[in-house]
Structure 1
Amino acid sequence: MKVFVVLLLAIASASAGLLPQVSHMHPRDRTAVPSIDGRITNGHNAEVNQFPYQVGLSFTATSGSWWCGGSIIGNTWVLTAAHCTSGASYVTIYYGATVRTSPQFTHTVSSSNWIQHANYISLTVRNDISLIKTPAVTFSASVNKIALPAIANSYSTYVGQTAVASGWGMTADTETSVTKNLQFADLTVIANSVCQKTFGSLVVTSKVICVATPNSISTCQGDSGGPLALDGTLIGITSFGAEDGCEIGAPAAFTRVTSYLDWIKTNSGISA
């Protein structure tokens, strides 16, 4: 099946702009060391309770472990990326943490408790979204949900608006160890036509949202699945960036939440 898909991509490359000028990579896959490898490059330290909707996700599988981010969208649901849940057996959810190793509490659930999009395709990063069903949590100043966009905003591109991404980890491509503090960065949404010049239109579809990364400020490995928020509303899920590094100035890409409002409601019952 993979051979067939690759053949289709090769045929499609005859059309300019379909295939990427720069290879894409999920933040989760950028490196195997350290195993907890999230980061916002050149971002800022978050204040306590600044991002109560942010969770850390420590996934385990027979092949190893990895770290992702996620967003609380209800007291029993976390939204993350499909490439984070893919292949995992269990996840430990870190709630209310600013210092990564000091959450308010954790819950561990098995893969039977998450819903990965049935049409997720890793090769072209299609439908990179998953829901995790969690034990019920009590909301507080440090643990709370983030709103989903209204259906009326489904056609909004958000181009030119500044959103905030958050996550834990290393602060530069040259770092070899993670940082303990939750990081965040303000990032400006760019048109998909601009993003397609880097990653191609087979990858950057209408269900993807991209941001510019000037001054080496970007999402990076392990930030996978984490939030891109605009005015207290979740508009993106960290999905992929450039294979050559997080500080090279290439766009960073997110799953566009407005494209999946029906999917989220069908599977979790949650809507704006």
Structure 2
Amino acid sequence: MGYLKLCLCFVILFRQTQARNAKPDDPDERDEDQITIGWQVGYEKWQRQCEKYELPATQQEAAISTRIANGELAQKDMFPYQAGLILQLGQGKYRQCGGSLITLQFVLTAAHCLIDSTRAKIYLGSNQYANATDAQNVFQVERQNFNVYPGYLGFGGYNDLALLRLPRPATPTSSIQTIPLARPFMQQSLLEGQLVTTLGWGALGDNLNVTKEQELEEDLLHYVTVRVLEQQLCLCYFLPGLVSSKRHICSDGRGGRGGCQGDSGGPLVYRWHNVSYLIGLTTFGSAKGCELGAPTVYTRVTAYLDWIVSKTNMES
């Protein structure tokens, strides 16, 4: 059972326990009844809407945070806005994530990357992951310069974005460039079915028996081109409430192509009029694996433009 499914079950059980323990005339009990009824109605509506897709039960499940599966090797300077992140946790542990340089002093990434992190090391201008020799700029960012979106719950993929403020501006070169944020009109109606690109470092598939040669290849930046998936179909792949039509965008996972474990926070990019725009941040995928055909889910940048602009002093 996935982590989010456990969280969801805990919330439901907690609410049911509260309802049982409440006094008969307690207004909290009436509120709890309304919550329970509302959740049940929402679940039944989700079931009706998803019947037409006839998805196997194994695909309708919880999700986990997510590297690039079945992608291609990136060439030098191909994605100069890509940032490699190492997050330092407690007890000598570390977490791998990606990010996007949106101004010379701010990197946009997933909020769940920063949970329980005390500091971050950020590498810019390199196709090799966390390679100080190959990178053109390396920064250490302390916790006080983490800015997690205030609506993030602390787990899962809802409102899953955060900003890292670099201690000084990055030096622009052919290997270090910022990426423009999605324009407000880049909504689902425009993007659905369009080719987009997602990228990152890490696992190239679900094979647990990785050879030395594959380990070396995983340290190199990979990308994959996929299509934006119909939103309702994406909602039906996961438990109700995990995917939001307004706040998420999904890529079609057919052919086992998309994000995989370790790609969290990395960019989803749409090319429009020969300019690349950041339209999403990798947030989660299927708990069963990266190569089973399930979608990859991204935080939709257009839903958070006002917040990002206000926190970075970017021109809107």
The one-letter code sitting in structure 2 at the alignment partner of 1:6 is I
The one-letter code sitting in structure 2 at the alignment partner of 1:165 is T
**Shift of residue 17 of structure 1?**
5.7
Q: 2:73 aligns with which of 40, 45, 52?
A: 45
Is 1:132–2:164 an aligned residue pair? yes
Q: How is 1:102-181 mapped onto 2 (pairs within 5 angstroms)?
A: 102-134=134-166, 135-153=168-186, 156=189, 158-176=191-209, 178=215, 179-181=218-220
Is 1:58–2:86 an aligned residue pair? yes
User: Quick one: higher RCO (CA 8 Å, sep 6+), 1 or 2?
Assistant: 1
Call closer, same or farther: CA 1:120–1:176 in 2, change over 3 Å: farther
- Would the aligned equivalents of 1:165 and 1:229 in 2 still touch at CA under 8 Å? yes
**Shift of residue 250 of structure 1?**
0.6
The one-letter code sitting in structure 2 at the alignment partner of 1:186 is T
Q: Give the RMSD, CA atoms, in angstroms.
A: 2.3
TM-score by length of 1: 0.89
Which is helix-richer, 1 or 2? Answer: 2
Call closer, same or farther: CA 1:142–1:121 in 2, change over 3 Å: same
CA distance in 1 between partners of 2:301 and 2:220 (Å): 26
Which is strand-richer, 1 or 2? Answer: 1
- Count of aligned pairs between the two proteins: 261
CA distance in 2 between partners of 1:70 and 1:62 (Å): 22
CA distance in 2 between partners of 1:122 and 1:71 (Å): 21
Is 1:198–2:198 an aligned residue pair? no
Q: How is 1:1-272 mapped onto 2 (pairs within 5 angstroms)?
A: 5-7=11-13, 12-13=39-40, 15-16=43-44, 18=46, 21-27=60-66, 39-63=67-91, 64-100=93-129, 101=131, 102-134=134-166, 135-153=168-186, 156=189, 158-176=191-209, 178=215, 179-205=218-244, 206-231=246-271, 232-271=276-315
CA distance in 1 between partners of 2:302 and 2:242 (Å): 17
Which secondary structure state, in structure 2, belongs to the residue aligned with residue 216 of structure 1? coil
- Would the aligned equivalents of 2:122 and 2:138 in 1 still touch at CA under 8 Å? yes
Which secondary structure state, in structure 1, belongs to the residue aligned with residue 172 of structure 2? coil
Q: Which structure 2 segments of 5+ residues have no match?
A: 1-6, 16-34, 48-58
TM-score by length of 2: 0.77
The one-letter code sitting in structure 2 at the alignment partner of 1:224 is S
- Structure number with larger C-alpha Rg: 2
The one-letter code sitting in structure 1 at the alignment partner of 2:141 is V
Q: Which structure 1 segments of 5+ residues have no match?
A: 28-38
**Shift of residue 2 of structure 1?**
8.4
Call closer, same or farther: CA 1:201–1:106 in 2, change over 3 Å: same
Q: Sequence identity, in percent?
A: 33
**Shift of residue 152 of structure 1?**
3.7
